[in-house]
Structure 1
Amino acid sequence: MQRPLIWFSVAFAVGCGIALFGVSIPLAAAVLMLAASIIIGRLVSPTIPVCVLLAGLTCGLAYTDAYHRYITDPVSGLEGLSQHMTVTAADYAVQYEDSQRLEVRVDGSDVGLKTGFRTLAYLPLTEEEIKPGDTITGKFEFYISGLREGFDRESYYRSQGYFVLASVNKNAEITVTQPEYRPLSYYPKLFAQKLRDVFAQYGTERQISFWNALATGDRSDLTTADRDHLRKAGLSHVIALSGMHVGFLISLLLLVFGRKLGTALGIPALLAFYLMVGWSPSVVRACVMYGILLLSFWVRRQSDSMNSLFAALLLILVILPDSLTSVSLQLSFAATFGILCFASRIQYLLALPKRVRNPVKRLYRVLSGTVACTVSSTAITAPILLYHFSYLSVFSVLSNLLALWAVSLVFPLLFIGGVSGLFVPTAAAVLLTPAGWLTDYILWVSDWIAGLPYGLLYCENHVDFAFAIVLSALAALLLWKGSRRVLAAGIPLLVLLVVGISVWRGTAVQNDLHISVLPEGSGQAIVISCGEQAALIDCSGSGYHNAAEDVAAYLDWYGIDSLDLVILTSVDLGHARNVCELFREIPVERVLLPQKNRENKTPYPEVIQTMETLGISYEMLAPETETAVGNDSLGLSVLGTVERKLVVRIQSEDQDIVTVHALTQNMLLELTDQTPLPCDTLLVSGGFSENTEKMQELLRRIAPSQIVLESGWESGTDYGGIPIVNPYYTGQIDWKTERD
């Protein structure tokens, strides 16, 4: 049998996957299955890997079950425990407005466990920065994060190895103590912070955030716009540490120190790099593969990249079976598998004639290699991207062709410049200045590609996803079995087909009405768009939400440059908290707000002053009957008479939505005494369901088909038989009305 490790690793992964879905087998059954696989293997032809597959499947099932039983479940069982204890910081903290989050290591004996574990802890802000290796003493409460804003946080954290989270009350005191001796394993983290400190002296804010992400994996300072543009351009892998970054590091060592010394330094460098950036399946995969490659250099043996890939998969699943659900692992392995299978065939297709001179060939080989790797990885990862993110970047080949050569230069400049800056600041300035120019170019490419129309292909239903799988399978088949002539014709046709579908879909939805309720905690922000027209109802977020940033990111993602209309249903913190910031960032043509307001009440004076300073036209409404506002295509109207409040209806051929988020129950009862308010969907605030008698009377009068509870941490699935949808759990709520 050839490559038994590959067969075993694949079967082991399948066994892990089955176990993760809740199928477990006792140890005795695992032993019997393993024995059966050996017997079957002796009875059938050795060229058929039946025994290896059965053995891998059995081991994956049994190992995952045992891992959960003896490691995962005891740690998860700490949920609800409140314990005064001392933990050790494993990284620097990410700072928030009133708290900080960092990875900590917990001594198992402090909580009644035999082994320690790592987790994420949310702590009050401290005067001094917490460093890796410092100990933190306080009263920690353990909890498990669930579904929030459409994102299954529990599964995500488990795939990262965090089986329970911890927090300290923001008003409680914690004690931070620096150790007399800091273990060597924390020094790579300290080195990463030194690099960030050097970067901060020589770049702009935007450059520095990109450098931190590229060199150290710290993406916390990247703006939402830069993150989204990189995603839309198909360049998000540049800031997601993976095999590309590890390859840059090893290539730099080999270039600077030569093959022999560079190989000797390579494995310690891989270990240090892993400790610097932290656990990530993509980084572990890359470190294992490059580690095997360096060992093969050292012993003068040829390595098998495909075997190395599946050896890395097996190792990661042994360390953490739950990482199989990690999007990072799925994309990293799928992309690498595609490159190993197909990249060489594409480069063969794109090869230049032999008569072309060597300098031109070298440059062309780099460009063709970029195209080959991008096409190969996309062919395999497309279904995964569509499944998890519901979109695919159509112009990723172009963006990678334009940007990756610059990334390959920026990475070594950052490392050499960062290290030089620790000793010779002048050298850092010399190296980081061109790194800044190249970074500006990369971000310009990202901005330009992200701004191109029809650059995203969306997956809107199961039919789209099935079609994507068929296309991906067809592309893989062509790349695997196609002759040079077939590849020359088939691949361009597939690319043109994808681009054509994207243009067709994009053109078809241009005139559709889109209504989106953004999840903003106890605030409200609703975006309505149709063609070139766009309007916003309220702009207020709470907690860690900033509605101005969220609205700006939404508009940028969908290529909307300005707002034709902003309606403030109330000029208070619950509805206009972030609107002044939005006015300064996004062009707004007109604003509607209630006529009677508390003029000294925050944020009313600032809203009026900001609009007058920026020259934004505004009008105060006090209609007695339903009044249409804005462009007819948006279907907006203001209803009734309520002091200091507006009630807004959004109506189309198949939607009838009314927001009463700004109203109390008494206000709405008074309004419905005068004006009928039937609708399909009623948008209310979190505390609206209080006082059952009034609520039942309101629902009898309005008779909505569903309720959107726009704020509140807890909600049932229905109220009096009417379904409830809460963006806190489901995430952004979207409606679309197709129009010819």
Structure 2
Amino acid sequence: MKRPLIAAAVCLAAACALGTKTTILSGIWPAAWLAAAGAALLIGSLNRRLAKLTPFVVLFALACLYVTGYQRVISRPIERLGRDDVLEVRATVLDFPEEYEENQRVPLRITSVGDNVPGDREMRTFKTLCYLPFTDTPLEPGDTLKARLSFYQPDIRDGFERQSYYASNGYFILARHDEDTPVRIEQHPAVWWSYPLRLAKSLKEAVNRQLSARQAGLLNAILFGDRSGMDSADERNLRKAGLSHMAAVSGMHVGFLTMFLCLVFGQRLGSFVSIFAILCFIPMAGASPSVIRASVMYIIMAVSFLRYEESEPLNSMAAALFVLLLLNPFAISSASLLLSFGATLGLLLFSSPLQKLLMQPFRKYNRLARKAVGAVMSALSCSLCSMAFTTPILLLLFGYVTILSPLANFLTLATVGIVFVLGLLLAVFGTFLPGICPPLAILEGILLSYILKVSDWIAHLPFGILSWGDMLGKAAIFVLYAGFFILLLSKKRKVFLTLMPICAISIAFSLIAAHAAQESTRLTILPSGAGQTLIYAAGRDSLTVIDCGGDKGHDSAEAVIEYLDWNGCEKIDTLLLTAVDKAHARYAAKLLRTGLVRSLIFPEIPESRRKELYIELLDTAERHGVPYQIGTFDTLPEGVRVWDSVERKLVVEVKIGSQRVLTVHSLTQKMLSAFLENTVIKTDILLLSENGIEDADLLRAALESIEPDELVLECGYINNESVLRRPCHNTKLEGEIVLAESKGGDIVWQ
């Protein structure tokens, strides 16, 4: 076996995927893997033909044994704590808390639970994320607290598997504080492992003092991967432009740090200093898999350089993967890990050959011209190779990919390197020597503004987004991959004659797909917690938002704005509210304040029942000049039908092709029953709230009257599925649901 470390990492990755994403390993006795390894060794020694497979079988068997043991010894005992109601715990604070409106989320290391102490065999320390009330004494890393906590397993929310996400970060269970008991805090002198975290906080605060809020948010994301201060529109633009990696610390950032230290201290001393700087930088940047991967590879490279040896990049990457999965087999589900290793693998395998191929037409240029062209081709080849390996992952996780990332990277890559170095200097000087920062802050602000303008420009181009949900998007993706492999296999100097038609075809497909989406009729059902938010687009010229409700964890106004941005829509023709309560109008006033709404429709509310939300809605509409209709409707949006026979509520039906979709989300079951006694209505798809299925008899009667073919349950789980007796979709389990018109007039679920 030429590269045993690569084989070991691949076998461990396969075992981790098998053990954490399926239940196959849990049903196999651990000793069976030892028996399999022994049998493989025996067979390999007796049969030379099978001897080459023996190391792989042994490594995979040992990897499966390790993953099984990890689950039995570490993860499952922690998960079983969720069966208890409330437990007295002692814990150490691991990082500064994230603050929300009503509480704070704190990473803790639980050191004792109930009567157990760390030395007991039944008790092992473990990490958790705990939601605590605000404390009089701010929590800092290293503090000890005692509290009564209840542990629970995170569930699926809006189609997002939170349990898999948290487990990939080492949190196998979450906790919340028992509100009836106090939180006792013991503060200690700063411990050694907390210094990088304290330094990172000080540097972020220095950045916030020296730059505007928008610029500081982007710089903190570039330096530390902290996006909490970024404007939501800027973060969205980075995603659309294919620049999200800029705000997620990875090999590029670690490389910038290493190059800066080598420039300051020289190559040998800089390499030595960079080892300690990287070890300090890991916790400062959040210790994500992408940071650890890059750090391990750069440390191996630096050590090899100091020993006058040459490091093997593929072996270094395999070592990083092996270390990550050895520490936490559940990290195999991490999007950060998959994207980081996918991009790196593409760069290592194909970047150099592709760059040489792209440089062939310029071989006769003079040296200076070749260097200039080489820089451009290097950026292009790196973008294409990383994109080739990350596109399947992005499609699997998010359902779309942008083909504009090579252009965005070409325009910003050099600038990002300068921004990183200057930003690091600005943060350090802002902490210790703030008097010399203003000139540096001005230059840094100019560069950050340039990145923001480039991302904003590229994000708003009318093409570039390819979705796996439509045929044109799939066709464009297949064309791109075919072109990529043609480029790799090409030996001709006229390589750009191949590259240019491929780009043109992909851009044409994305333009046609975007135009078709804007011209089609579709209903988008946004996850809104306990509320409802629907977006009905009847072609390019009619956009109706039905309700804008939700809870504190679902800002429907921001979700609607994001929809408009992604779909190239400028205005909302009508905001139609089926009820004026928090479930249906919580964020309606916020949406009106954006100036995007042209008209407003909502039901008549008796004066005795008008609450603060109703008054705020009217006041906001009047102050922003939004015309509104109450109770009686002179004009309705195209394809929309409304019934106002229920007091304080509206029933709305929209038409998609030949299909009809009815929402009775705002009605209680008794209201719906009374409405159906006086109104004969049939529909193809019915939208219900969680409260609309509580009474099985009333639900059965309503379904028999309306006769829908399919149901959409907005929020919550289905406990009486046998009563429904028809296909049912769920926004809590599936996330955003799109009903689009097909060519035959039927509905396509996306």
Please tell me the TM-score bracket, short chain as reference: over 0.9
Paired residue for 1:653? 657
Provide, for residues 438-481 of structure 1, a one-character-per-residue CA deviation record: whole Å limited to 9, x for no partner. 111111111111111122100017x8898688667645644554
Worse-superposed segment, 42-51 or 247-256? 42-51
Q: CA deviation at 1:543?
A: 3.0
Q: TM-score, normalising length from structure 1? A: 0.93
Give matches, 1:607-626, under 5 Å: 607-622=617-632
2: distance between equivalents of 1:674 and 1:29? 68
Given that residues 696 and 720 in structure 2 are in contact (C-alpha distance below 8 angstroms), is that contact kept between their aligned partners in structure 1? no
Residue of structure 1 in register with 2:636 after alignment: 629
Within the alignment, does 1:105 sit opposite 2:105 as a pair?
no
1:399 Cα deviation from its structure 2 partner: 0.8
Residue matched to 1:86 = 90
Does residue 319 of the first structure (1) align with residue 323 of the second (2)? Answer: no
Amino acid at match of 1:201: R
Of the structure 1 ranges 374-383 and 587-596, higher mean CA displacement relative to structure 2 is found in 587-596
Q: Which among 549, 556, 560 is matched to residue 551 of structure 1?
A: 560
Aligned equivalents of 2:181 and 2:729: distance in 1? 35
**d(CA) in 2 for partners of 1:142, 1:596:** 43
Question: Bigger shift: 51-60 or 406-415?
Answer: 51-60
CA contact (8 A) 1:108 1:117 kept: no
2:90·2:113 contact (CA, 8 Å) conserved in 1? no
Please show how residues 388-427 of structure 1 align to structure 2 within 5 Å: 388-427=397-436
CA contact (8 A) 2:261 2:273 kept: yes
Q: Count how many residue pairs are aligned between Structure 1 and Structure 2.
A: 732
- DSSP 3-state at the match of 1:421: helix
Whether contact under 8 Å (1:640, 1:675) holds in the other structure is no
Looking at structure 1, the residues matched to 309 and 369 of structure 2 have their Cα atoms a distance apart, in angstroms, of 32
Give the partner amino acid of 1:187. Y
Give the alignment partner of residue 582 of structure 1, picking from 588, 591, 594: 591
Go from structure 1 to structure 2 and tell me whether the alpha carbon gap of 1:48 and 1:421 turns closer, same or farther (over 3 Å shift): farther
Match of 1:451 among 441, 457, 460: 460
2: distance between equivalents of 1:486 and 1:64?
Answer: 50
**SS of residue in 1 equivalent to 2:740:** strand
Q: Given the superposition, is the C-alpha separation of residues 27 and 412 from structure 1 closer, same or farther in structure 2, using an over 3 Å criterion?
A: same
Alpha-carbon separation, structure 1, partners of 2:430 and 2:606: 56
Question: 1:229-268 counterparts in 2 under 5 A?
Answer: 229-268=237-276
Alignment correspondent of 1:643: 647
Q: 1:310: Cα distance to partner?
A: 1.2
Note if 1:13 corresponds to 2:13. Answer: yes
Partner of 2:740: 736
User: Does the CA-based 8 Å contact 2:480-2:506 persist in structure 1?
Assistant: no
Counting only pairs closer than 5 Å after superposition, residues 657-668 of structure 1 correspond to structure 2 as: 657-668=661-672
3-state secondary structure, aligned to 1:536: strand
Give how far 1:493 is off: 4.2
Aligned to 1:594: 603
How far residue 219 of structure 1 moved from its aligned partner, in angstroms, is 1.5
Moved more, 725-734 or 439-448: 725-734
8 Å CA contact 1:564, 1:589 repeated in 2: yes
Q: Secondary structure at the match of 1:521?
A: coil
Distance change >3 Å, CA 243–CA 654, structure 1 → 2: farther
Match of 1:699 in 2: 703
Indicate whether 1:569 and 2:578 are aligned: yes
Are 1:203 and 2:204 an aligned pair? no
Q: Which string of whole-angstrom CA distances, capped at 9 and with x for unpartnered residues, describes residues 411-452 of structure 1?
A: 111111111112210223332322221111111111111111
Q: Which moved more, 1:567-576 or 1:418-427?
A: 567-576
Match of 1:687 in 2: 691
Equivalent residue runs for 1:125-524 within 5 Å: 125-170=134-179, 172-179=181-188, 181-351=189-359, 353=362, 356=365, 360-460=369-469, 474=482, 477-478=485-486, 480-485=488-493, 487-524=495-532
The residue matched to 1:725 in structure 2 has which SS?
A: strand
> d(CA) in 1 for partners of 2:724 and 2:395?
37
Is the 8 Å Cα contact of residues 540 and 576 (structure 1) preserved in structure 2? Answer: yes
Query: 1-side partners of 2:55 and 2:489: how far apart?
Result: 27
Is the Cα contact below 8 Å between 1:658 and 1:681 reproduced in 2?
yes
Instruction: Provide the rounded CA distance (Å) in 1 between the counterparts of 2:458 and 2:630.
Output: 41
Distance 2:356 2:278 in 1: 32
The answer (yes or no) to whether the contact 1:13–1:57 under 8 Å persists in 2 is no
SS at 1:53 equivalent: helix
Residue 77 of structure 1: how far off its partner (Å): 1.4
Helix, strand or coil at the partner of 1:118? strand
DSSP 3-state at the match of 2:11: helix
Following superposition, the deviation at residue 68 of structure 1 comes to: 0.8
Instruction: Please report how far the alpha carbon of residue 698 of structure 1 lies from its aligned counterpart in structure 2 after TM superposition.
Output: 2.5
Residue identity opposite 1:448 in structure 2: W
Segments of 5+ residues of structure 2 without an aligned counterpart are 117-121, 745-750
Question: What is the CA–CA distance in structure 1 between the aligned matches of 2:174 and 2:268, rounded to whole Å?
Answer: 45
Letter in 1 for 2:313: S
Instruction: Quote how far apart the aligned CAs of 1:402 are.
Output: 0.9
1:125-160 Cα offsets, whole Å, 9 max, x none, are 224432111122211111111211111111111111
Superposed CA offset, 1:708-736 (max 9, x none)? 33344664435342444332222122100
What is the TM-score of this pair, normalised by structure 2?
0.92
The amino acid of 2:707's aligned partner reads A
**Does the CA contact (< 8 Å) of 1:524 and 1:574 recur in 2?**
yes
CA contact (8 A) 2:45 2:51 kept: no
Residue 636 of structure 2 aligns with an amino acid whose one-letter code is V
- Secondary structure at 1:162's aligned position in 2? coil
CA contact 1:385–1:391 (8 Å) conserved in 2:
yes
Query: Whole-Å Cα distance in 2 between the matches of residues 382 and 202 of structure 1?
Result: 37
The residue aligned with 1:29 is 32
1:51 matched to 2:46 = no
Report the CA distance between 1:374 and its aligned residue: 0.5
Shifted more, 720-729 versus 385-394: the winner is 720-729
The residue type paired with residue 483 of structure 1 is K
Give 5+ residue unaligned stretches, structure 1.
none
1:579 Cα deviation from its structure 2 partner: 0.9
Please give the alpha-carbon distance, in whole angstroms, between the structure 2 residues aligned to 1:471 and 1:314. 35
Deviation at 1:247, TM superposition (A): 0.8
Give 1:265 shift. Answer: 0.9
CA distance in 2, matches of 1:157, 1:343: 33
Cα shift at 1:295: 0.4
Structure 1 residue 207: Cα displacement: 1.2
Contact kept? 2:669, 2:691, Cα under 8 Å: no
Aligned to 1:64: 67
How much has 1:371 moved relative to structure 2?
Answer: 1.0
Shift of 1:681: 2.1
Assess if the C-alpha contact under 8 Å between 1:4 and 1:49 holds in 2.
Answer: no
Call closer, same or farther: CA 1:77–1:600 in 2, change over 3 Å.
Answer: closer
Shift in Å, 1:490 = 4.1
Cα offset for 1:545?
1.6
2: CA distance between counterparts of 1:716 and 1:498? 47
